[in-house]
Structure 1
Amino acid sequence: MDLTQSSQVVTSSVPKKGDQILQTAINSFRTVLTPEQLAELDCIQSVPETDAVLVFTAELDLRRQSKKGKSIASRLFPVLQAVHSFTSIIDTFISSNPTIAALVWGSVKMTMTASIMLNAASYYEAFIELCMELGRICPRFEQYQALFPASKRLQEALCTFNACIIDCCRRVIAMPKSSSGWTSPLNPLNPSFWQSFQQVFESDLQKLRDHSKNVNKEIRLAADQSQYRNNELQRLENEQADQSRRSLSRFMSRTRDDFDTMHKLQIMRSEEVENSLSSYDYIKPLKQARQKRYPKSAEWIFGTDEFKSWVDGTTSGLLWCSGKMGSGKSIICASVIDYLLTRPSSRRSHVTFFFSRFDDSESMRAETILRALARQLVTVQDVSGHTKQALETIKSAPGDILFDLSRLLTRLLSRKGPPSWVILDGIDECQREERQILTKVLTSMLDDGVNARLFITSRDHATSTFKEDYVILGQISMNCSAAQDGMAQLVDQAVQKCLDAEELLVEDQTLINEIKNTLTKHADGMILWVTLILRHLCTQPNNERIREAIAFKNLPRSLTELFNRILDRTVSEEKESIVQALLPWLVAAKQPLTLSQLKECCLISPLQEYTIRDRYVNGIHLIDNWFQGLVEVDYETKTVHFIHASVQQFFLNASDNPAFSNFHVCLEDADRHIGDVCITYLNFSDFKTTLARIRPPLPPIAPDEICQKALSNEWSWPRLLRLSQRLQGKKPRAADIDASFASYTRAADKTIQETILLDHPFLPYASAHWLSHSVNFDQEHCQTWSLWRDMLMWGHELAASPVSEEHHRTVDGALVFWATQNRHSALLDVVVTSAELIEQYHHILFDYVLKESDTNPLLHHMLSTKSLGHELNSLCCRAAYHGRLEIVKTLYEAGVDVNAHGGLLGRPPNTLPLTEAAEKGHIKVIEYLLQRGANPNIQTDLYRSALVPAAELGGLKGLQACRLLIDAGANVRNTDALLKSCASGDREIIKLLLSSGADVNASYPAPQWKLPSVGI
């Protein structure tokens, strides 16, 4: 029997307590439904698909297209995702009734649909707020996923929590039916409805908060037993495998409980392998783009011939959409994704997507993009055969995995059936090197004829991106006439929204129409321009000032002019000091920071010794007003973002107006400043005191326990801080079973840890990014250089390591390799200046010097230390072999002897730079070495002289090399160069050698010829 088949085969038929709790809630929910709603609920029989939340929220927005305002369905995402994750795990691990999980999901889904479609704005807005609060209360799936299967108490706690959500849904459904008459406070048309709604459901929210606390308590309790259970599961797995090899019949006669245990373990392991592929939260940018979309404003693209042909598959599999900055390409991408998710003929297709964000460096890496795409295409059922092998290879690969990723992605996209859809937004945000890697993979996939259709948006035209690659594609511009119609719709709805919200206080319909016409006419395709101008109009005190603002002569002609006007208003309102203090953090942070993080870290001074709460920023929630709308706060994560990449670029570029010079941000200086603050922060005396308090003296350990203790998992601050980071913004990676167990093994410390994180929200960021922000550190400009160097050399308990799950301990080979991969010049300088480190890791540095094009500063630093001797001879040989003339020059000028033997990895130990250059035909290097006294007649382990590999190379380069060597005095008589050239049949080289005195009668040892196989 296949262990990956549905869990219903192996679960008990006796209802479990969790089932009963959920069934009771579902039965109660059914009592408030209409006959039509009951019939709809009864039709739900299957567990939701993995993309059910994406599809459902897209459907909700589609149904609400006739309503006013922006998309709101994405605000339901957190609670929907929490319930969806719960249903998937109960279906696998506890439910004896196959429909329980489906009905839990169906109940919540039905409530959302009924509430959102109710024709009362106050009702669904209040309901949205309720759902957002529910999303904040819901237990995080990654916190309980690994612990759930083994703990009945945890299972029951989670079932109780979700049953409470269903009960809350019951009250939401019943509320409009029980609210009659204008005077009823629960009538959605009553002005006091919002407050009444909140009061009615406060008791439900409090109950859910209590149940959530109970879940967290059960998580800690389950963790105390988890390590033992994990060991037992592994033992059972080993026993089962051993017994199955000896006797299949005995294997099939195992008890149902053991079989079920094995099945659960296999599912958990498959999920672990599957989710190790990517932990990046690729859904968050989609939700943000949906939030900015007005109904029907992006539908123009669906009516274009190019899009219709692309969807129907009658043209190229790649559709390229280009548009200027601020034209709404991300919104178009989100609309295309939702169109495909809700299109009936696409329901069985995979819709995969990725948004590269200008303010998230991780999203601009080709590897991150490819991993996220592959992760969306893989399901637990796929984790077998070639796919499982590929996933495990990628998971365990120590170095570059781009080839393996590309091959896996090509295989996944080549499956038979309906085509997969791949949507990519903002690849122009990636650095040129990353963009080249990505386009190379995409081109390769298209050449392989994958069963997929690609939609890509970019500021650049396709020709400038693919350049020399010949790619058949369709193209569409955001500046086409159809897009202009979409702009008119957007302006109409945006203005109406401001009027409805009483932000734009205009009653004159003529002026309202004038505003709409002016914005539509002069937007030039830029949604960003419309948004900011409209915000400015909302601040005007009367109609006269509004008319002045929209007069053609007063309208800003470009985004830069518009941004300058905003800065002018910032200065006039005396907010320039706080804005300038916040700018480095918004521009240079590795990922968007939350309001609470900015509040804590913004005004920390380098080398500050402890937390000074008087330096916390007051009123940080007003940051949107301080920046006059140039930043926005994400409703779900509370992270702060520039509203567009053009805003970030504006602050990075020096202003033409001297009055705004202090708003200019030098990225290198800002990065260094954040690094200084991170180092300062991690060394606060607050943390040293706390760590000393929670780290009790070690009890005596018996000798027979030492190995066991050494091998067991230990509690680790960096693990906890990484988890905290992922909860704030990133999608959590799948439960790493062992790591999850380890994170909770000290339940007594848990309260202290939570308190520290609540009091110091910047701690997870500082722990994760202390090293990445120190790339530009140096002793002259960095105030925390000594502190940083000590942390680097001796470790730090709060500093996360980029190469392990534990805290940073010291500089080792893995870290040095990481530094070369990430071009961390400061860390490499520390290695170079340490005689001990450079002796251990010079081979890694040599690889880096040879790989990179601009490494002269590091090489000069290496040479100035005088720590390396004969190792430099090998580097010179390798540089000559790779044709790196500038490195050969630098080494010679530093005193390296070009006639001294060195070695190349995987070759005989004694070789010479001239020989290596001759073997590869690097003429410029050969000329330089000969001019600097290289002797062409010195013998190596492979060749009698440099003339031999040159003759063996043949061709034009071989002929040129032979001439240079002979002119420099190479002995043509005492080598087998003539024999090599005769073997290759190169007449020009043979003539040259003979004319130079080669002996045609010379004898040489017979070569070891290999006879070709003839299949006998």
Structure 2
Amino acid sequence: MDLAVTSIPKKGDQILQDAINSFRTVLTPEQLAEFECIQSVPDTDAVLVFTAELDLRRQNQKGKSIASRLFPVLQSVHSFTSVIDTFVSSNPTIAALIWGSVKMTMTIMLNAASYYEAFVELCMELGRMCPRFEQYHALFPASERLQEALCAFNACIIQCCRRVIAMPKSSSGWTSPLNPLNPSFWQSFQQVFESDLQKLRDHSKNVNKEIRLAADQSQHRNNELQRLENEQADRSRRSLSRFISRTRDDFDTMHRLQIMRSEEVERENNQKLLDSLSSYDYIKPLKQARQKRYPKSAEWIFSTDEFKRWVDGTTPGLLWCSGKMGSGKSIICASVIDYLLTKRSSGRSHVTFFFSRFDDSESMRAETILRALARQLVTVQDVSGHTKRALEIIQNAPEDISLELSQFLTRLLSRKGPPLWVILDGIDECQREERKIVIKVLRSMLDDGVNARLFITSRDHATSVFKGHYANLEQVSMHCSLAQNGMAQLVDQAVQQCLDAEELLVSDQSLISEIKNTLTQQADGMILWVILTLRHLCSQPNNERIREAIAFMNLPRNLTDIFNRILHRTITDEKDDIVQALLPWIVAAKQPLTLSQLEECCLISPLQEYTIRDRFVNGIHLVDTWFQGLVEIDYETKTVHFIHTCVRQFFLTASDNPAFSKFHVRIQDADRHIGDICVTYLNFNDFKTTLARVRPPLPPIAPDEICQRALSSEWNWPRFLRLSQKMRGHKRRVANIDVTIASCTKTPDATVQETILLDHPFLAYASAHWLSHSIHFDQEHCQTWSLWKNMLMCGNELAASPVSEENHRTIDGALVLWATQNRHSALLDVVATSAELIKQYHPVLFDYVLKESNNNFLLHHMLSTKSLDRELNSLCCRAAYNGCLEVVKTLYEAGVDFNTHGGLSGRPPTLPLIEAAVKGHIKVIEYLLQRGANPNMQTHLYQSALEPAAELGGLEGLQVCRLLIDAGANVRNTNALLRSCARGDREIIKLLLSAGADVNASYPAPQWKLPSVGFRPILDYSHHALTPTHRMTVHLYTKIKRPYYKLSPFQSQKLILLSF
């Protein structure tokens, strides 16, 4: 077996070369000359640039942008060329020609306008078969079989491209049998290429099989290397001469294995380090925004003076674009990105961007935004030196890494050369705290003078977001005069598209013009209003009704008016039941659900025991029709989304019309319902039967091999389900003996798991989000409470854990901490009401109770267990220190004695009154004194609560001292006067003396820190501020030869102070 591979094997190289040569044969002389000029490999952002160029070339044609649908297949080919370019040596241009053949095919088909959309659909089907780069990149160099399989797959893509170009020429020019005017054209186009698609499916399956085999071989090499190393270590303890003579061959083998392993580990670790920075799919929202854009409708912004100055660099580095809800800000963002990619981008000038989506909670986190921006500026080839160290710091940093991310991002954006472009859309979707973090980082970067120019869109004006912190920016409004021209372009194309699709059945040209003029003039900058109003016009049966609908008095006044009309039509069409059933899922899902997931889960009943296919939703692909255009289906992922955040907000707001009350979604109820279904689903008997069936009796296996395979196991259900959704996992893998033993009998290509996932598409979502949807669970309102609680305590093989990559096993410290961080009240309630768990995890719960002191439900549940005793005294002291009055009250009502000492971590026992006095919490002190707290009780640090009050000083300290004296505090048996003198706090000194403090008292040398200059400030204060009517003698007793502090500038043990 070859142990090192430095180039693609001859077979794979020849397969690619043959495919490229075959592709050449269908090109015209002009096309062939252009093809032969291709020499350079594609840049990192080549896919983004090329799809933007395709849309730009297609601007004179009707309809929305569709080039982004080519993205998956282009990205797959692009990723493959990157590894080919790295490891091939026989033909340096082969990577460039692979990319060039696919790119040229798409360019040729763009010119054949009639075939372009059918070709795009074909490419979308092809893209679903493409292997993901992260699956094979680390294994590729060391596996000849995997290399050949990938070469064959990509050669098949080139052959398919060859057929696409040759197909129109094969008959009589660009005519039948595939005539676009033929009604069966789209179906025929698919049928002609079905054989090619089947070949690609077969090659795709083979690639997946070889990936798994290469992974197993890699593990085998590691095991072999470990075996050899162990043998050599054992032999080295014997005769050295015999060892050298007998193991030279083993040394050579071991050396080669070590080199291979070292290179493979470095590739894996670098990619993992890069993935740990961010694996968020930031490109998907760009593709969605592109698909909503009509050609030239957003180009108005390029003509504004503000944009011109921003692009040329003659204006501040930040251009802020504001516009009302539904005005098309995301579309503007996508257009700016494409403009920069095609007009301003260069090999060293990167365009980075991020879209915050209202239906993707992850995209509204500041950390996600900053990580994704940084990830776009780093490639796996950059992971070395300073960049690698910075990535490792971020990976190992504590929870709040905004500072580290800010520094890293600033360094990346400070590179010399052409400016870098940063485009942000929808930061107003983020919560205020998250938005503040993003703005703070951006402001810091701009203050540091980064070599970057920022473009941000938001509903808010920049002044309301920055609030005067950063004024060096320019603003452009979506409501400017130039934007009106863009609106006219959009209306014209949208109306024409409806006419071409025979959705708007109007032949009267004057009426068509009237429709266009009315929509343009009344839109008030809202694209969403135009699209939905036009859809309403399409539903009218005749010209008369259309004219009535566009009359000024009948036009919808705002978006809410449109939404109400849509609900009325929904009820009229008798689709209200299915719409109401689907609404909670679309509103409250943690991430958009696919058509197949909605079809399966929508009508499941809580506590249903198994799959009932008769309950599947029929015709789910018509969901956008049922919702009258308020939802849309993503072409690539087949996920269902609201068309805009305002639609979701509409359904979350109660309607004034009683007829629409059932369309109102209460988010907590919806969240709880989805949680019920997730728990029900994960406990289906279907899975119990299947999992039992894939675990027949085990073949003989040695105990040491069981352990070894457990420690190296890479498969379990949650990990498999995460991969199916490309979910992010950061936690360290732990050994799983049970899963490994069970997996000894699994099929090599994991067909059982894949089949289960195909038959149960909702499984991946339920596994990932069963716990996050149960935050609002309670025994009274949750039908699956007992089932869910059992899953928590005993685990579930299909349920993913939020704190590891393994399935959920039981409640542990990591999960309890996660629950406090995510305010998971239901999980915390289970812990709080369990006598066993509360004893184990009460410190974490105490931290949470103090942090969320306004909500005492958890504390009441903790107290109900009667399992805590002295721990409550400690909690009471902490609550008093933090000023948590409600917690103190709850503890008193539960019987906690305020005069009993409580221990704090790292500190001697203390009392609630003294802790409240330390921080000056007046209301807490008043309550404690009213409920019997003794102001004269001592602790290790203080003789009474007066001492920390005097030490606190100021107005608060004075107020606390008064409260304590009024409650009977003894001023004579404390060193409160000494402490107030040390501070020089005149008002407190007066109060203490007037309350009877002894000016001639003797004090042991204090163990608390005095001012660094000794007593000089006291003397100075005394001589200048006090009247010589009294004298106070303070004897300071020190230990012989070991004073507690230096009496500088005095050496005697008696100090005379002028006093009252």
In the superposition, the TM-score normalised over structure 1's length comes to 0.91
1:549 aligns to what? 549
Please state whether the residue corresponding to 2:353 is helix, strand or coil.
strand
2:880 aligns to what? 880
The correspondence of residues 740-819 of structure 1 with structure 2, limited to 5 A, is: 746-748=746-748, 750-819=750-819
Task: Measure how far apart 1:712 and its partner are.
Answer: 3.1
1:621 aligns to what? 621
Q: How many Å separate the matches in 2 of 1:892 and 1:468?
A: 47
1:102 aligns to what? 96
Please state whether the residue corresponding to 2:277 is helix, strand or coil.
coil
2:161 aligns to what? 169
2:67 aligns to what? 73
Please state whether the residue corresponding to 2:418 is helix, strand or coil.
coil
1:663-686 residue CA offsets vs partner (Å, 9 max, x unmatched): 211111111111111111111111
2:145 aligns to what? 153
Task: Measure how far apart 1:737 and its partner are.
Answer: 11
2:240 aligns to what? none
Answer yes or no: is 1:864 the counterpart of 2:858. Answer: no
1:664 aligns to what? 664
1:227-254 residue CA offsets vs partner (Å, 9 max, x unmatched): 2235568999999xxxxxxxxxxx9999
Task: Measure how far apart 1:702 and its partner are.
Answer: 4.2
The correspondence of residues 68-217 of structure 1 with structure 2, limited to 5 A, is: 68-93=62-87, 96-116=90-110, 118=111, 120-176=112-168, 180-181=172-173, 184-185=176-177, 194=186, 197-217=189-209
Answer yes or no: is 1:62 the counterpart of 2:32. Answer: no
Q: How many Å separate the matches in 1 of 2:845 and 2:782?
A: 24
Q: How many Å separate the matches in 2 of 1:528 and 1:834?
A: 52
Q: How many Å separate the matches in 2 of 1:69 and 1:937?
A: 83
Q: How many Å separate the matches in 2 of 1:866 and 1:600?
A: 45
Residue 268 of structure 2 aligns to which amino acid in structure 1? Answer: M
Q: How many Å separate the matches in 2 of 1:357 and 1:182?
A: 43
Q: How many Å separate the matches in 2 of 1:901 and 1:651?
A: 53
1:370-425 residue CA offsets vs partner (Å, 9 max, x unmatched): 22222222222332344323423433456443443333333333344333322222
Q: Larger deviation: 356-365 or 770-779?
A: 356-365
Task: Measure how far apart 1:769 and its partner are.
Answer: 1.0
Say if 1:12 and 1:96, in contact at 8 Å, map to a contact too. no
Q: How many Å separate the matches in 2 of 1:797 and 1:978?
A: 66
Task: Measure how far apart 1:772 and its partner are.
Answer: 1.0
1:919 aligns to what? 918
1:581-629 residue CA offsets vs partner (Å, 9 max, x unmatched): 1111111111111111111111111111111111111111111211111
Please state whether the residue corresponding to 1:556 is helix, strand or coil.
coil
1:579 aligns to what? 579
Please state whether the residue corresponding to 1:656 is helix, strand or coil.
coil
1:99-136 residue CA offsets vs partner (Å, 9 max, x unmatched): 322221222122222222x1x43211121122111112
Q: How many Å separate the matches in 1 of 2:31 and 2:1012?
A: 80
Residue 555 of structure 2 aligns to which amino acid in structure 1? Answer: L
Task: Measure how far apart 1:484 and its partner are.
Answer: 1.4
Q: Larger deviation: 969-978 or 305-314?
A: 969-978
Residue 927 of structure 2 aligns to which amino acid in structure 1? Answer: Y
Classify 1:233/1:102 alpha carbon distance in 2 versus 1 (closer, same or farther; 3 Å).
Answer: farther
Say if 1:19 and 1:95, in contact at 8 Å, map to a contact too. no
Q: Larger deviation: 658-667 or 315-324?
A: 315-324
Partner of residue 229 from structure 1, selected from 203, 221, 244: 221
Answer yes or no: is 1:412 the counterpart of 2:412. Answer: yes
Classify 1:70/1:318 alpha carbon distance in 2 versus 1 (closer, same or farther; 3 Å).
Answer: same
Say if 1:567 and 1:660, in contact at 8 Å, map to a contact too. yes
Structure with more relative contact order (C-alpha pairs < 8 Å, separation 6 or more): 1
Say if 2:371 and 2:405, in contact at 8 Å, map to a contact too. yes
Say if 2:394 and 2:404, in contact at 8 Å, map to a contact too. yes
Q: How many Å separate the matches in 1 of 2:8 and 2:424?
A: 48
Task: Measure how far apart 1:72 and its partner are.
Answer: 1.1
Say if 1:70 and 1:291, in contact at 8 Å, map to a contact too. yes
Please state whether the residue corresponding to 1:59 is helix, strand or coil.
helix
Say if 2:228 and 2:254, in contact at 8 Å, map to a contact too. no
2:352 aligns to what? 352
Please state whether the residue corresponding to 1:557 is helix, strand or coil.
coil
Residue 275 of structure 1 aligns to which amino acid in structure 2? Answer: D
Q: Percent identity?
A: 80
Residue 322 of structure 1 aligns to which amino acid in structure 2? Answer: S
CA RMSD of aligned residues (A): 3.3
Residue 955 of structure 1 aligns to which amino acid in structure 2? Answer: G
Please state whether the residue corresponding to 1:207 is helix, strand or coil.
helix
Q: Larger deviation: 382-391 or 496-505?
A: 382-391
User: Which entry has the higher C-alpha Rg, 1 or 2?
Assistant: 2
Please state whether the residue corresponding to 1:552 is helix, strand or coil.
coil
1:320-377 residue CA offsets vs partner (Å, 9 max, x unmatched): 2222221111111111211222233565223222212222222222222222222222
2:1042 aligns to what? none
Residue 97 of structure 2 aligns to which amino acid in structure 1? Answer: L
The correspondence of residues 514-663 of structure 1 with structure 2, limited to 5 A, is: 514-663=514-663
Say if 2:22 and 2:159, in contact at 8 Å, map to a contact too. yes
Q: Larger deviation: 552-561 or 835-844?
A: 552-561
Say if 1:145 and 1:735, in contact at 8 Å, map to a contact too. no
1:273 aligns to what? 273
1:639-668 residue CA offsets vs partner (Å, 9 max, x unmatched): 111111111111111122111212211111
Say if 2:947 and 2:979, in contact at 8 Å, map to a contact too. yes
Say if 1:95 and 1:101, in contact at 8 Å, map to a contact too. no
Say if 1:87 and 1:102, in contact at 8 Å, map to a contact too. yes
Classify 1:915/1:44 alpha carbon distance in 2 versus 1 (closer, same or farther; 3 Å).
Answer: farther
Say if 1:272 and 1:736, in contact at 8 Å, map to a contact too. no
Which consecutive unaligned segments of at least 5 residues does structure 2 have? 232-250, 1014-1060
1:474 aligns to what? 474
Q: How many Å separate the matches in 2 of 1:988 and 1:419?
A: 61
1:777-834 residue CA offsets vs partner (Å, 9 max, x unmatched): 1111111111111111100111111111111100111111111111111111111110
Q: How many Å separate the matches in 2 of 1:698 and 1:395?
A: 40
Say if 2:654 and 2:664, in contact at 8 Å, map to a contact too. yes
Task: Measure how far apart 1:988 and its partner are.
Answer: 4.0
Please state whether the residue corresponding to 1:937 is helix, strand or coil.
coil
Say if 2:881 and 2:916, in contact at 8 Å, map to a contact too. yes
How many residues align? The count is 986
1:415-454 residue CA offsets vs partner (Å, 9 max, x unmatched): 4433332222222222333333333433444444443332
Please state whether the residue corresponding to 2:908 is helix, strand or coil.
coil
Classify 1:39/1:949 alpha carbon distance in 2 versus 1 (closer, same or farther; 3 Å).
Answer: farther
In the superposition, the TM-score normalised over structure 2's length comes to 0.87
Task: Measure how far apart 1:898 and its partner are.
Answer: 2.0
Please state whether the residue corresponding to 1:632 is helix, strand or coil.
strand
1:479-501 residue CA offsets vs partner (Å, 9 max, x unmatched): 22121111111001111122222
2:42 aligns to what? 48
Residue 337 of structure 1 aligns to which amino acid in structure 2? Answer: I
Q: Larger deviation: 575-584 or 422-431?
A: 422-431
Q: Larger deviation: 300-309 or 824-833?
A: 300-309
Q: How many Å separate the matches in 1 of 2:877 and 2:911?
A: 6
Task: Measure how far apart 1:11 and its partner are.
Answer: 6.8
Q: Larger deviation: 230-239 or 754-763?
A: 230-239
Say if 1:428 and 1:459, in contact at 8 Å, map to a contact too. yes
Say if 1:952 and 1:958, in contact at 8 Å, map to a contact too. yes
Q: How many Å separate the matches in 1 of 2:168 and 2:753?
A: 44
Task: Measure how far apart 1:917 and its partner are.
Answer: 2.4
Classify 1:885/1:465 alpha carbon distance in 2 versus 1 (closer, same or farther; 3 Å).
Answer: farther
1:6 aligns to what? none
Please state whether the residue corresponding to 2:460 is helix, strand or coil.
coil
1:716-757 residue CA offsets vs partner (Å, 9 max, x unmatched): 11111111122xxx6x77999999999998434722111111
Task: Measure how far apart 1:94 and its partner are.
Answer: 5.2
Say if 1:142 and 1:734, in contact at 8 Å, map to a contact too. no
